[in-house]
Structure 1
Amino acid sequence: MGVYEMEVDTIRGGKQSLSQYKGQVMLIVNTATKCGLAPQFKGLQKLHEDYAEQGLAVLGFPSSQFMNQELGDNDAIAEACELNHGVTFPLFAKIDVNGPTAHPLYQYLKNEARGAFGTKPIKWNFTKFLIDRSGKVIKRYAPTDAPEKIEADIRKLL
């Protein structure tokens, strides 16, 4: 099963297939609004604004698996992202990214792009995965890699 066969829950309660992003470059990020790295929302939003028309889809997947740094429910998460960080890129329902309850999307991403030292688990909030227009996972970025640092890699794929 590839990335386009994945079905995800939207932050507003619907279901969506990632097949709608076929032919686009995707940047998939596990987010947390109360994390010290939350200022990255602004950089992610800038990437969305600068490159969406050229085919970039920034997709945020809130998770509370790291020190419980995400708000309780999806409505509160959406509101905090919109009001505090100006987020207009797609956000999805809160998920687990590690362990036996990890969402199938993250099981797939971790298997396709292992982290530092060949490890699979997500280490922290704001781990980023860059996927090309054909659905191939190109690279995994560390939580501390600022969105601006990824911009050159994104431009190459666009």
Structure 2
Amino acid sequence: MQLNHYLNFKGNTEAAFNFYKSVFGGEFLFVMRYSDVPTQEGQSPLSEADRQKIMHISLPINEHTVLMASDISEQFCAQTNKAFTVGTNHYISINLDASEQDEAKRLFDALAVNGTVEMALSPTFWGALYGALTDQFGIQWMINCQLETA
């Protein structure tokens, strides 16, 4: 299991991560834009500007830590009924591999007790079990159990 910080930005993730890359060095491990997301039936189309925003980016800081982030759109805020607020725009991300699916489910269920589930732990288009929640103390968590290579 690996714990990492996951940051949310309001449209400037790419600029922020180019800055962090200049500070910490290294190369981006992964960059996905919203234009890479498969469109679901009944889903409102994103504007071209939103399609170019970052859905996920990761920058290894050292052998144990990866800084990750995404842009949060107004559409996401409306869907989750959650406003973007600078200062609380981060999650603790727990990353597990395919052999740890039971542990991913256990951790998600345990952290969700008396909390609020933002997205239930379920399979995703990027080949993982993923879920997000806010625990009973107001801490935001993401669980990502990679089942296959993205």
Task: With the length of structure 2 as denominator, give the TM-score of the two structures.
Answer: 0.27
Task: Identify the structure with the greater helix proportion.
Answer: 1
Higher RCO (CA-CA < 8 Å; seq separation 6+):
1
* Bigger-Rg structure (1/2): 2
